[in-house]
Amino acid sequence: MKIKEIIVVEGKDDTVAIKRAVDADTIETNGSAVNDSVIEQVQHAQRIRGVIIFTDPDYPGEKIRKTIAEKVPGCKHAFLPKKEALPKSGKGIGVEHASPESIRNALKEAQIMLEEAKEEISAEDLMDAGLVGGAGSRERREKLGLLLKIGHTNGKQLYKRLKMFQISKEELVKALTQIRQEEEHA
């Protein structure tokens, strides 16, 4: 599978994992303090071929994603579920631990996040749905992130991510119904 866009990853191990899974070029940020040189590379890549941001499903990865998305609009975003980014043994979480199949799936599902979205879903809707501020809300958000392919979020990030991906209230309700059915049958 050949990827047209240039994939932004955190480090060399991520590049190795990406190249095991697909034929692609990468830009490595080398940590969460993304410098101006990396931003310039990503801006150039976005103009020439397009960019997919594919960072680890953890706090530093989200920080990198947010920094680049703010400075380079129009990038696609690929998300890896946490359970697919865990090492077989040892510590850490990251793209480098994912199977080639998981990487290919995440890249196939890459989406563009848009800042300007119609505000259909309210913060109150998220509370009513048990996605923030209640028992089991973190687990529900994880399941929702997987279903909607928007990655794992905390309560505050969820609202923004739903807007950025232009998830409609109807799509949210449909996903929540599926989650509830799975919970009932578990």
Question: In the structure encoding, which two tokens stand for residue 3, read together?
Answer: 């990827």
Q: With cut-offs at 50, 70 and 90, classify the pLDDT of residue 118.
A: low
What domains can be seen in the chain, in order of their start residue? 6-112 (3.40.1360.10), 123-184 (no CATH)
Length of the chain in terms of residues written: 186
Q: With cut-offs at 50, 70 and 90, classify the pLDDT of residue 89.
A: confident
Report how far residue 69's alpha carbon sits from residue 73's, in angstroms, rounded to the nearest whole number.
6
34-49 confidence digits (pLDDT tens) = 999 999 999 999 999 9
% of the chain beyond a pLDDT of 90: 60
Sign of the CA dihedral 8, 81, 88, 62? positive
Q: Contact at 8 Å (CB) between 22 and 107?
A: yes
pTM over 0.85: no
Report how far residue 141's alpha carbon sits from residue 132's, in angstroms, rounded to the nearest whole number.
8
pLDDT recorded at residue 176: 92
Residue 113 φ then ψ, to 5°: -95, 130
Report how far residue 145's alpha carbon sits from residue 157's, in angstroms, rounded to the nearest whole number.
11
